[in-house]
Structure 1
Amino acid sequence: MRVVIVGVIIFFGAVSNVAASAPIVVSAKITSQSEVSIEFSEAVYTKISDYTGFTGALSGRSITGLSGSGTRYITLTFDGAGFSPITAGGFTLGAGTVSERDNTPFVGTYINVIDGQAPTITSLIFSTNSNSFGAGIAKKNDTLTLTFITSESIKTPTIVISGHTVSVSGSGIGPYVATYTYTDSDTAGLVPFIINMEDISGARASPVRATLNFNSTVPEIFSLTSDATSSGILKMGETIRFRLMPKTPDPNLRIFGSYNGVSLNWTTIDRGYNYTAIYTVASGHISRSAPLQITDVVIADAQGNISPAFSGNDIQKIIFALGPAIAQVTPIPYEVFSTSPVYEFSATQAGSIKYFGDCASPTMVALVGKNSIQFNALSRGLHNNCSIIVTDSNGVASNRLDIPAFTIMVGSIEPDKDSTDPGVVLGVKTFVFSRFLNIGATGDDVKELQNRLTQESVYSGPITGKFGVLTFAGVKKFQKAHGISQLGYVGPATRAALNK
């Protein structure tokens, strides 16, 4: 008898008594403003829907991206604003996450997430006790104060300035304050300081480094003069130029000083060999009856070292800064029917009047108090560039008074210049209607309308210049006579018939 063995298949896995182990989470940390990094004990396959039940800083957030599936390191990206620094929070990871090795599912459980973000400095201010010239400067015997705030609570930081570890006060996120006083043992030049810190969970930040420029040389002023060639009076609008020379040229000097109570702006065009500033007498400045010299000028270098105060040593000036002040009393109406309107203003001092823009007048002198000026004949239309200035006997000019815009109407009444009889009522050469008229309108054009309607025998009321119900009825009759829609108001069609 022949026995044939076709084949034998042995399934070792099926009979093995060794159970496969499930993957576990080694750590879960917030590593950026929108990401959580998870380390598993082995490579896993995972997807967004496996993560639910968010708490702490993750509460209310949604996952917008997942990377690293098939490896030990998974990164979850969340929506919304950046995470606040936390020490607790987490999520539930379900059994949908499986081992890459043999598809053994993760045992669903709650995973704690810790803060893996290093702290940062959100505000840093450093200054010295003897100057306020900004950051990055210091001089001998200055006490440097560092004040900073962090993004989260930290352990007590270590601060090193110029090679010296200094004490620091503060807790939580701060403010933390550290001080150091510069001495002769500190070398001039760039002096470094370093801040080392870590948060409560042990996340250590990279050292924060910066430098200060330390210098103890005090600058000095060599001379301070002006361009004045003679004594006398400085009047409104006049100037005097000052020139300062430092003992050592320096293009980065700051110059502090004033003249007649006005701060001066100093500039240099020759790399710090000379600095110049200009003072101009203006309204509101102090008048001086005694000659005035520039005094108490100081200079400061980039490190904040300040020179002794220095005073000028040349010609002095008397300052006369009181000029007339003018103000509007009565404006011209925005729509005016006279080509020579009247304007009223007040003046605190007498003086000559200068006119600007479209407006001019034969009145050339302003008196103290209220003044009334009638402008020369103006063209019809808008006038919005008129202004006046009054200059007193010392040549001091007032403020410029801008006259509010006004319009000479197209239908303005002009006097009949051919009339020589002073007793007659001045008439109208021609009248052009230019605006919409209806009940409630008033003015010379309404009066002229009533005259025209009377001439047309469609109006028998009084000539008042006020558009009322009688005028309204007269306009309707006029419109009927001229084949115009009987609306009662003066629109474009009626205006055209009246202006024929």
Structure 2
Amino acid sequence: AATVTGDNMTWSAAYTMTDNNTDNVSVSLNIDFEDLAGNPGSDVTSTIGGSAVWFDRTVPTLSSVTIASNNSVSTLAKTGDNITLSFTSAEAIQTPTVEIAGHTDTVTVNGDNMTWSAAYTMVSTDSEESVSLNIRFSDLAGNAGDNVTSTIGGSAVLFDKTKPVLLPVDNVTTPTSDNTTLSYTFSSTEAGTITYGGGCSSSDNSTSGGDKEITFDALADGIHSNCKISVTDNASNTSDN
């Protein structure tokens, strides 16, 4: 029952909601009263002016959680890449607190308080690992949802900030006759795409890591001392030439 106080003209009644009350309903009211002479008034079962209170004790949940990078491979990220965490709540929620890779980030909300996104730019001090996430949220009634620390559906982003390292294995030998095909063997710490520069080229544009022998395209007569080779890994980290 409600606790009623007043001065015979102005009254208030208070009640503390419990888990036994019906969930997801407008809180009902009923005022039964009479004047000092005992004349009964008509029972009042609604407010004047339309005010109402909705009772909600349901723990909110997220129905969708995905993570992606703006890297050319959305499941990978290098230093400077942007990570976007997108999620949808099953009901309207308050502005959540979001962590990406251990950092609290700015959250952008659309107009319905249900579809959200958070963004973070990876930096060189972040750990090379699967990018972590943590979403803390409550619904509009203040019911706290369980912290969400993984995506729904399995999307993930791996942070890779390490450049491939190239080392020579066999140096290019000086040709002793015309039309000699030149080859070169180097070692790479990672698989990736090979890029040539400095006047050298080859149709061989990939390495699986480890030792790699490449055959250069035909070179014009003369001295070639500025040939460059670099390897770019799947996260777009490029080795030094």
What's the TM-score, normalizing by structure 1? 0.27
What's the TM-score, normalizing by structure 2? 0.49
Which structure is higher in helix share? Answer: 1
Q: Which has the higher contact order (CA 8 A, sep 6+)?
A: 2
